[in-house]
A and B are shown apart, each in its own frame.
Chain A
Amino acid sequence: MTHGLDGPAPEERPTPAGRRNKQGIRIDPEIEAKREPRRTVISVLVEHEPGVLSDVSGLFSRRQFNIESLTVGPTAEDGRARITLVVEEPDPGIDQVKKQLRKLLPVIAVRELEPDAMRRELALVKVNAERPDRVAAVADMYDAKTVDSSPETATFEITGARQKIEAAIETFGQFGIREIARTGTTALARGTDDTAAPPTESSAAEANQTQQFTQPTDDD
C-alpha cells in the first residue's frame, strides 16, 4: 500500500517473435500470404415464413459482410424457400457468413457451392431499336428472347452466366440502352448432389474447415 504499480517498463520486457494477421491467423513473416477476397455462391434453405429475408439481410448488414446479390424463391417442398447469396470476402469472412447464417432459427441448411455449380442470372434489357435488323442480329448472338417491341424500342430477356449477360449488355450498348433490370445469381449444385439439405455431418467437423474453392473463371 506504500507504493504504486511497478515492474519493468514496456521497453524492458521481452517480446515474442511471432505475429498474427488481421484475421487472427499466426503468420510466418517470411512467407506471409495475403488473403484476397474471393467471390462465392452460398445457398441457404430456410423456413418459408415472414421475416426470414429481413433476418438474413439484417445479418449481412450488421456484420458488414460484403453481399453482391441475393435471390429468393420457394422450393419443391411446401413451407421452404431457397436463398442464393453471392458474397465476396476473404476465406475467414466466408466461413463466418456460413456460421452466422446457421445460427438463425429459420435457417435449415447452408452450403457453399462448388465452382462447377450451375449459376444463372436473368436480365431484361430495353434498347433503342431504330435499326431493328442490327438489334435482332445482336439478340441472336446472345440467345436473347424478344419480350416486347415498339417502333422505338425492343426489350430482350437474357439468361445465363453473369459474364454472358454483361457481354450482351455491353454489345447492346451501341444502340443506346434505355433501361435494365437484373435478378441476382441463382444456383444449384450439379448431379445428384443436394444444393442445401439438412446437415448430415456434425457442425464440429465443419466448424473450422476452410473450404478452398477456386474462383471459377467463366462463372458458369
Chain B
Amino acid sequence: MSERAAPVTATEEQYDDQDPARDAREPADTTAETESEPERHPVTTGAEAVVRALENAGVEHAFGVQGGAIMPVYDALYDSEIHHVTMAHEQGASHAADAYGIVSGEPGICLATSGPGATNLVTGLADADMDSDPVVALTGQVPTEFVGNDAFQETDTTGVTTPVTKDNTFSSEPDRVGTDVSEAFALAREGRPGPTLVDLPKDVTNAETDREPDEPAVPRTYEVQERADPETVDAAAGRIENAQRPIMLLGGGVIKGEASEACREFATEHEIPVVTTMPGIGSFPEDHELSMEMAGMHGTGYANMAITHCDTMIAVGTRFDDRLTGGIETFAPDAEIIHVDIDPAEISKNIRADYPLVGDAGTVVSQLAEAVDASPKATKWRAQCQQWKSDYSMAYDAPEDEPIKPQFVVEALDEATSDRAVVTTGVGQHQMWACQYWTYTEPRTWVSSHGLGTMGYGLPAAIGARFAADDDQEVVCIDGDGSFLMTLQGLSVAVRENLDITVAVLNNEYIGMVRQWQDAFFDGRHSASDYGWMPEFDKLAEAFGAAGFRIDDYDEVADTIDDALAYDGPSVIDVHIDPQANVYPMVPSGGDNGQFALTEDQL
C-alpha cells in the first residue's frame, strides 16, 4: 500500500529534458543532477516514451494484463519505478483504475493487449465514462501493416471505444507516441474528467525514437471555462435570496471538482437543506442536521419530499440521471433550477436550467457565495424538512428469530470502521443498502458504479481503492453474491499483493434487485434470478489464500466483522442474509419522486 498519489505536477527538471535547448544539441541543463531525481536514461523506443510519459505525469500504479501486442510497453515498464499490478482479468484492470481515480483524484492507469484484452477493458471504460472518472487506458495493437486485415488478436479498438471514452487516439508515429500518452493523461482529468485511450501498434512501440514526450497538455480545441458568467451568477444569487423552499442538490461533480468544502460552507452559512445524488454521496456529511441524504429511486423519503416540493434548487455537478429524477414531468415541478456544471452540454439536457452556470464547481459556488447577500428566509421550510425526516425515517424490522437483515450488517460495518473508511460496492440491492444505512461524511470514500450499474465492480474497485487510499483508511467492499461471482478472480490479485481489504458478501442466493422487481412487476415469476447454486464464499476465499468468514446469526455479526477487519490481508465474509429482504423506499421507474413506496403494497 502506498501513500495517496502525489499531485501530478511534473517537476521542471523533467521538462528540461525536452527543452528546445536539447533539440539544438546544447549541453543538457544540469539542474537535474543537483536534485534528488533518479537519473533517467534517454528514451530509445516508442514504448519507453510511453512509460516516460506516465512517469512525467507522476503515475505510481498501473493495472493491467500482459499480452502479445502490449509486450514492448511491459518491457519498458520492467525498468520503471511504476508499480504494475497484474490483474486476473482486464475488466478488473479498468475498474481498479477507475476506483483509483475516484479515491485519489488523479487518473488511474490500465493496460491491456490488443483484441480480447482491449475489449475486456470496455466495460470499465464505459463505467468511467458514465461517472466522469479519470482513467487512461493503454492498449496494444497489431503492427500497423496488419491493421484492418483481421490479423490475430485485432479489433478496431478506437472504433469500439469511441462511444465510451472522452477521447481516444490511434498512435501511429513513434515520435508522437509519448506525447499522445501525455495528452491522454491531461485530457482525462481536465474539465469534466473521463476515460481516454491510446491504441499502441506494436511496431510503433518497438520502433526506435529519441523523442521525449511533451509536457501533459490538452489539445487546443479543448477549452474549459472555470468561472461562470457574472450576470447569471447575480441573477441566481437574487433567486436564492428570495427563495422560500431552497435546497442544494450535490452530484458527483462536487467531489470531482473538489468543491465539497465550498458547498458545505454555502449550505451551512445560508442554512439550506442538502440532498445528494448517488455519485454525490460524501460531498456533504450525512450526520449534519441539514443533510437530507440521497434522493432518487432508492433515496430517502425525506430527500424525495424535499426535491419534489422545493421552489429553488441549486444543482451542482449533476446530470439529472433518470434514477434521480424519476419521471421528468414530476421532477421538482415548482422549482427554478440553478444548474452549475463544467460541461455546457449538461445544461438543460434533461431538466431545463433557469440559471445556467457553466464553470468549475468550486469556483462557481464561491462566486455564488460572494454574490448572495442575505440568506433565504426559510425557517418554515427547514422545519418541514425536519418533519419529513422524522415522518419517513429509515428503519427496518430485525426480529431475532429471522435471518439477518442486510441493513444491520451495513450498520455494523459502519460502526466498526472509521469515518474515512472507503466503501466499494457491486450493483444491486446490497449497493442500495450500502447507500442508505452507511453514514458517509467525507468525499472520496464512496466508490460505486453509478451510471452504468456494473455488477462485479466491487472487488476490483476495492483493489484500486486500496492503492489510492491512505494506509490508515480501511477499504471495505460490500458486495452481493451475484455481483461478487462476476469478478471474484480478483481475489488472487488481492492475495498476491497482500491487500488489506474486507469483502462482505450479502448473500441472499438471488439476483436480489431483479427478484424484488419480479415480485413487484412480474407476478413473482423468478425467471433466472434464483441463485440457489452459490458456492461457499468463505471456503472459496480460503482456496485463493484469503481469510474466509461466515455469518449466519445476529450474535456472530460484530465479532466476525472485527476479526475480518483485523486480518492483515484480504478477507471475505459470507453473510447469509434474509433472502426476502427488499430495498425501500422505492420510486418505480419513471415515477413521481414524491410518491415513493415504503412497502410493496404501495407500489
Interfacial residues, chain A to chain B (CB-CB below 8 A): 1-10, 13-26, 47, 51, 54-55, 58, 62, 92, 95-96, 99-100, 102-103, 105-108, 202-208
Contacts and interface: CB of A to CB of B under 8 A. Distances in A.
Contacts of B598: 4-7, 9
Contacts of B159: 54
B349 A96 contact: yes
Given A92-B348, A203-B344, A203-B358, A18 B597 contact: no
Contacts of B333: 16-20, 26
Given A1-B395, A4-B397, A10-B596, A26 B356 contact: no
B345 A96 contact: yes
A105 B344 contact: no
Interface string B342-367: 01110111111100111100000000
Given A10-B596, A205-B229, A5 B301 contact: yes
Interface residues of B, number: 61
Interface string B158-195: 11001100010010000000000000000100000000
A5 B392 CA distance: 7
Interface stretch (B40-48, B59-67, B220-228, B370-378): B220-228
A15 B327 CA distance: 14
Interface of B: 158-159, 162-163, 167, 170, 187, 219, 221-223, 225, 228-229, 232, 301, 305, 308-309, 320, 328-331, 333-334, 336, 343-345, 347-353, 356-359, 388, 391-398, 408, 584-585, 592, 594-599, 602
A168 to B, nearest CB: 39
Contact of A103 (B232, B305, B343): B343
A16 B345 contact: no
B352 A105 contact: no
Contacts of B599: 4-5
26 contacts: A1-B396, A3-B395, A3-B397, A4-B396, A5-B393, A6-B395, A9-B598, A10-B595, A13-B594, A14-B594, A16-B308, A16-B594, A17-B333, A19-B330, A20-B330, A20-B331, A20-B351, A20-B352, A21-B328, A23-B328, A26-B334, A47-B221, A54-B162, A58-B163, A105-B167, A202-B229
A204 B342 CA distance: 10
A51 B158 contact: yes
B397 A10 contact: no
Report whether over half of chain B's contact residues are helix, strand or loop; otherwise say mixed: loop
Contacts, number: 147
Contact of B584 (A5, A58, A202): A5
Contact of B222 (A1, A47, A92, A105): A105
A94 B305 CA distance: 33
Contacts of B163: 58, 62
A207 B358 contact: yes
Given A10-B597, A26-B334, 9 more contacts: A20-B330, A20-B351, A24-B320, A51-B158, A55-B162, A102-B344, A202-B225, A203-B358, A208-B356
A206 B308 CA distance: 29
Contact of B350 (A8, A14, A24): A24
Contacts of A9: 598, 602
Contacts of B353: 208
B352 A25 contact: yes
Contacts of A19: 329-330, 333
Contacts of B187: 105
Contact of A7 (B232, B352, B391): B391
B394 A204 contact: no
B352 A23 contact: yes
B329 A20 contact: yes
